[in-house]
């Protein structure tokens, strides 16, 4: 018998596609700054495809964080992705 997988599926806020959580990065915004989700507050997901497209992902980040500080958001995102890759 085949095992049914119960992988959680979440929606990317940028492309609005539904994906397995494995393929998404969970983030949150705290006071206009981007952070990795820390178990409280409002969070959102971005898929790895969107993260590869800076311009596209930036629009979503600015909307989610209500911030126009593109450099800050983008730098933070890169930092988060890099950290994620190490663990
Ligand atoms: Zn996406």
CA distances from 48 to 3, 23, 35 (A): 27, 6, 16
The mean pLDDT of 30-50, rounded to a whole number, is 91
Ordered structural domains, the chain, with CATH: 9-86 (3.30.1230.10)
pLDDT band at 3 (very low <50, low <70, confident <90, very high): confident
Residue 49 has pLDDT above 70, yes or no: yes
CA of residue 5 to ligand 1 center, whole Å: 22
How would residue 84 be classed by pLDDT, with cut points 50, 70 and 90?
Answer: low
pTM greater than the 0.85 cutoff: no
Cα four-point dihedral sign 56, 61, 66, 67: negative
How far does residue 46's CA lie from ligand 1's centre (Å)?
5
Q: How far is the CA of 40 from the centre of ligand 1 (A)?
A: 23
Ligand 1 centroid from CA 22, angstroms: 13
Spacing, Cα 1 to ligand 1 middle (Å): 33
Percent of the chain whose pLDDT exceeds 70: 93
């Amino acid at each position: 018998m085949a095992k049914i997988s119960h992988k959680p599926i979440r929606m990317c806020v940028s492309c609005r596609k539904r994906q397995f959580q494995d393929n998404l990065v969970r983030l949150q915004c705290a006071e206009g700054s981007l952070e990795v989700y820390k178990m409280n507050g409002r969070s959102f997901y971005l898929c790895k495809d969107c993260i590869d497209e800076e311009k596209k992902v930036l629009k979503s980040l600015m909307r989610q964080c209500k911030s126009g500080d593109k450099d800050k958001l983008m730098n933070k995102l890169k930092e988060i992705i890099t950290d994620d890759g190490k663990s």
